[in-house]
């Protein structure tokens, strides 16, 4: 039985998050200082959480590819170099600003549940909820079709050319970076459980250490098949057949029809205004609109006057988060299976009504404790801006580290565990149904000003993502930080909201995890107002951002210390 069963959900989530980064810690810079300068460039820029992947994307830009080409190539590379977090066994979401049409486009490249996955099937076998890992947690991987949709609509390069750098690194090898090596070591025992995962991801029976050279010839072969045959090589060819054969072997529910029927969908991005800026997210089944709801609530307060180190600011932030996440638990689901009141949820009028519930001197405790599943997302985020100012905000994930923990035969990549985020309740909007998309945590974002892109950014990290989006924007807009400062500033993360899997909220208001650098007097005051605070935590890391200076049209890039990555430009 998992240890989280015997712990409060908030504590289980904190323990899981901390355990996942053992060996991956890096000392933060002094509070509200920065560990590196803003990267600035005139022509093009890429920011990712792994340096080689960033360089792959930059090489594409230098060789005449556009931002979309660079994003796909960088994503393929990071699927190799940061395999616990992402890869072609996972899903993808993207926002694309097309310079030619001067319009923003949204792509939902998430996968659906197997046709054979029904609530009755799980109930008959005694499941109260879907397992967090293993073959029953699978949904169809959407990444490769997402690449194809992006490439066909906006790209200029062939798959063969886009995947060539990643194939070369997979065959020749690359040195594993520090933070990624720490995550890899944290998953070592889990990888030992399944022979195909062990042979793919362990070197002489152990996870690679920093600087070890890692090769993945299995992934190189899979990439070569996609380079030759396109997305059909994944969904209708040998790869689908090998995944389904493995599913049959280990008790999964996949069929060839699940893969043959998979399709991404283009969606209309949604937005709200915040102090003159237009903030864009994707609609459900993702959680991006939670960030918009929080911003709507916070806009009525003079945060600039409060400052980033005040208890008043953090109290309002935490209360806004609780209110938005209560709605997230109730309404966010696949809109193809039932209406989601997105427009109403992100309206200013609704925010005004919700704001009335906030007390300035006392924390809310009657807002339904989070499910530990939502605190453990392993994800990559990358962004690209090219010379024409095409912009891509792309996020891609396996969900947990190495997803479900399974690698199918010789495919060379882990299969995601997104299906664990379905509810088994018959009445919940996010209930499991055949061929349905689950609630999703991964969210790309973009900000426009005066109808032009201003900021391309994201913050990876499961349940932390909307919270991170809002904190970074407040740092930039309210507190005047530069893009590097905005990503490196200490963060708070609230645990304890009800979840879209049907788990109830904490009756005592949950818990706040405070990173090193939050002033002790702020923590003391938050506790006086009724917040329960745990200190010394490392919260959702992985901010990457590119800001387009409206005065000079120059690119300013930031990539925070919590990951191995960097922003690079030319």
Q: Where are the domains of the chain?
A: 52-90+110-262+381-421, 267-374+444-569
Rounded distance, CA 397 to CA 231, Å? 18
Q: Report, as an integer, the average pLDDT of 181-208.
A: 96
- Residue 503 CA: distances (Å) to CA of 19, 129, 194, 475: 23, 10, 30, 32
DSSP 8-state class, residue 411: S
Does 242 have pLDDT greater than 60?
yes
Q: Report, as an integer, the average pLDDT of 127-155.
A: 97
- Residue 311 CA: distances (Å) to CA of 165, 355, 424, 476: 48, 18, 39, 19
Structure-token pair, residue 422: 């379905």
Whether the CB-CB separation of 440 and 110 falls below 8 Å is answered with yes
Q: Which CATH number, 3.20.20.80, 3.90.76.10, 3.60.20.40, 3.40.640.10, labels domain 267-374+444-569?
A: 3.60.20.40
**CA-based angle 129:416:418, to the nearest 5?**
40
Does 153 have pLDDT greater than 90?
yes
Q: Report, as an integer, the average pLDDT of 96-106.
A: 98
Active site positions, annotated:
379
Using pLDDT thresholds of 50, 70 and 90, give the confidence band for residue 499. Answer: confident
Write out pLDDT tens, residues 4-59: 323 334 344 443 443 344 345 566 667 677 778 999 999 999 999 999 999 999 99
* 453 three-class SS: strand
Q: Report, as an integer, the average pLDDT of 473-484.
A: 98
Predicted local distance difference test score (pLDDT) of residue 28: 66
Whether the CB-CB separation of 391 and 452 falls below 8 Å is answered with no
pTM of the predicted model over 0.85: yes
Mean pLDDT over the full length of the chain: 92
Predicted local distance difference test score (pLDDT) of residue 18: 39
Q: Out of 152-156, 280-284, 386-390, 508-512, pick the least confident.
A: 508-512
Q: Report, as an integer, the average pLDDT of 312-338.
A: 94
- pLDDT more than 90, % of the chain: 85
Task: Please name the residues in contact with 236: beta carbons below 8 A apart, sequence gap of 6 or more.
Answer: 259, 260
Task: List the strands of the sheet with 566-569, edge to edge.
Answer: 265-267, 103-109, 91-98, 391-399, 378-385, 45-48, 566-569
Predicted local distance difference test score (pLDDT) of residue 150: 98
Neighbouring C-beta atoms of residue 354, cutoff 10 Å = 20
E-only strand ranges, 209-362: 213-214, 265-267, 270-274, 277-281
Predicted local distance difference test score (pLDDT) of residue 27: 63
Predicted local distance difference test score (pLDDT) of residue 538: 76
Using pLDDT thresholds of 50, 70 and 90, give the confidence band for residue 377. Answer: low
Pairing of strands 511-515, 533-537: parallel
Does 369 have pLDDT greater than 90?
no
Does 359 have pLDDT greater than 70?
yes
Instruction: Tell me whether residue 365 is exposed, middle or buried, using C-beta atoms within 10 angstroms of its C-beta: 0 to 12, 13 to 18, 19 or more.
Output: middle
């Amino acid at each position: 039985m998992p240890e989280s069963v015997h712990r409060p959900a908030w504590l289980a989530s904190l323990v899981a998050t901390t355990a996942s980064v053992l060996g991956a810690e890096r000392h933060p810079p002094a509070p509200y200082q920065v560990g590196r300068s803003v990267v600035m460039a005139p022509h093009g820029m890429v920011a990712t959480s792994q340096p080689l992947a960033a360089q792959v994307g930059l090489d594409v830009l230098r060789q005449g590819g556009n931002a979309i080409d660079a994003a796909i190539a960088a994503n393929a590379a990071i699927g190799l170099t940061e395999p616990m977090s992402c890869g072609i066994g996972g899903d993808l979401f993207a926002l694309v600003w097309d310079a030619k049409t001067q319009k923003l486009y949204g792509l939902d490249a998430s996968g659906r549940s197997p046709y054979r996955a029904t609530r009755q099937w799980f109930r008959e076998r005694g499941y109260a909820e879907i397992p967090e890992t293993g073959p029953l947690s699978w949904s169809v991987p959407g990444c490769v079709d997402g690449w194809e949709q992006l490439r066909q609509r906006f790209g200029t390069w062939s798959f063969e050319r886009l995947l060539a750098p990643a194939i070369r690194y997979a065959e020749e090898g690359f040195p594993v970076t520090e933070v990624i090596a720490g995550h890899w070591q944290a998953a070592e025992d889990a990888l030992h459980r399944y022979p195909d995962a062990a042979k793919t991801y362990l070197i002489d029976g152990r996870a690679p250490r920093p600087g070890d050279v890692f090769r993945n010839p299995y992934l190189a072969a899979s990439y070569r098949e996609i380079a030759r045959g396109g997305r059909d090589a994944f969904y209708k060819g040998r790869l689908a057949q090998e995944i389904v054969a493995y599913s049959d072997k280990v008790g999964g529910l996949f069929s060839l029809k699940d893969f043959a029927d998979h399709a991404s969908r283009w969606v209309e991005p949604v937005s709200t205004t915040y102090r003159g800026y237009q903030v864009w997210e994707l609609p459900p089944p993702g959680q991006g609109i939670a960030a918009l709801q929080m911003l709507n609530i916070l806009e009525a307060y003079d945060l600039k006057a409060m400052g980033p180190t005040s208890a008043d600011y953090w109290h309002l932030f935490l209360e806004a988060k609780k209110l938005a996440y209560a709605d997230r638990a109730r309404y966010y689901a696949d809109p193809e299976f039932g209406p989601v009141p997105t427009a109403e949820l992100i309206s200013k009028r609704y925010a005004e009504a919700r704001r009335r519930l906030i007390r300035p001197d006392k924390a809310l405790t009657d807002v339904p404790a989070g499910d530990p599943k939502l605190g453990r997302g392993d994800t990559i985020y990358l962004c690209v801006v090219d010379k024409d100012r095409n912009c891509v905000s792309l996020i891609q994930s396996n969900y947990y580290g190495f997803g479900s923990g399974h690698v199918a035969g010789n495919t060379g990549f882990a299969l995601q565990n997104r299906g664990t985020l379905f509810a088994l309740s018959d009445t919940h909007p996010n209930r499991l149904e055949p061929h349905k998309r689950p609630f999703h945590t991964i969210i790309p974002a973009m900000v426009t000003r005066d109808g032009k892109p201003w900021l391309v950014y994201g913050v990876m990290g499961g349940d932390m993502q909307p919270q991170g989006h809002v904190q970074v924007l407040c740092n930039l807009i309210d507190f005047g930080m530069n893009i590097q400062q905005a990503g490196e500033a200490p963060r708070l993360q609230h645990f304890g909201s009800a979840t879209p899997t049907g788990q109830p909220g904490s009756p005592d208001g949950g818990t706040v995890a405070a990173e090193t650098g939050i002033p002790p007097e702020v923590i003391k005051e938050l506790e006086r107002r009724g917040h329960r605070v745990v200190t010394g935590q490392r919260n959702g890391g992985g901010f990457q951002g590119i800001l387009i200076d409206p005065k000079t049209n120059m690119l300013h890039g930031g990539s925070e210390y919590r990951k191995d990555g960097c922003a690079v430009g030319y």
